[in-house]
């Protein structure tokens, strides 16, 4: 079997790879982009939270700052040991809904993106929670 790279079949891909490496190096030097492990992790978490809660209907935060403040307040509630059923009720009250899924989604997204170190506390608090039955 012959080596396909030896005949120059992959030459154009090597050029593209070098070009991408040069662009990435230039962006890093300019301070615009940093590879994983060097990037501002906080910014990434906040952006992921914002995308997830603003793309989903029903929350209608007046601004990104308000959404982040609400998520950070949820993290503080989790860290302080506030019971999960109480948090569900507060979120439902704040957003004028009876939808447990909508409330739990917001709490989950806050924990996963803004305070992942508190996930264990949230899981422990929510372990035996059961939504109220729906219907007459």
Q: How far apart are CA 124 and CA 70, in angstroms?
A: 22
Whether pTM exceeds 0.85: no
Which tens digits make up the pLDDT trace of 27-43?
555 454 445 444 445 88
With a cut of 60, say whether residue 10 has pLDDT above it.
no
Q: Are residues 81 and 42 in contact, defined by beta-carbon separation less than 8 angstroms? A: no
With a cut of 60, say whether residue 132 has pLDDT above it.
yes
Q: What is the mean pLDDT of residues 50-64?
A: 88
Band of the pLDDT at 56, cuts 50, 70, 90? confident
Radius of gyration of the chain (CA): 23
Instruction: Please count the residues of the chain.
Output: 136
Q: Are residues 122 and 107 in contact, defined by beta-carbon separation less than 8 angstroms? A: yes
Q: Are residues 59 and 96 in contact, defined by beta-carbon separation less than 8 angstroms? A: no
Q: Are residues 114 and 75 in contact, defined by beta-carbon separation less than 8 angstroms? A: yes
């Amino acid at each position: 079997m012959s080596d396909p790279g030896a005949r120059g079949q992959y030459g154009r891909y090597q050029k593209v790879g070098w070009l991408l490496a040069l662009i990435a190096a230039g962006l890093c030097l300019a301070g615009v982009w940093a590879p994983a492990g060097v990037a501002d992790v906080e910014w990434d978490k906040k952006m992921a939270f914002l995308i997830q809660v603003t793309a989903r209907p029903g929350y209608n935060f007046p601004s990104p700052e308000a959404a982040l403040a609400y998520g950070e307040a949820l993290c503080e509630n989790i860290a302080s040991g506030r019971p999960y059923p109480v948090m569900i009720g507060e979120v439902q009250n704040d957003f004028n809904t009876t939808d447990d899924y909508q409330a739990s989604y917001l709490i989950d997204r806050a924990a996963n993106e803004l305070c992942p170190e508190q996930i264990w506390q949230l899981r422990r608090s929510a372990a035996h929670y059961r939504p109220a039955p729906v219907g007459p």
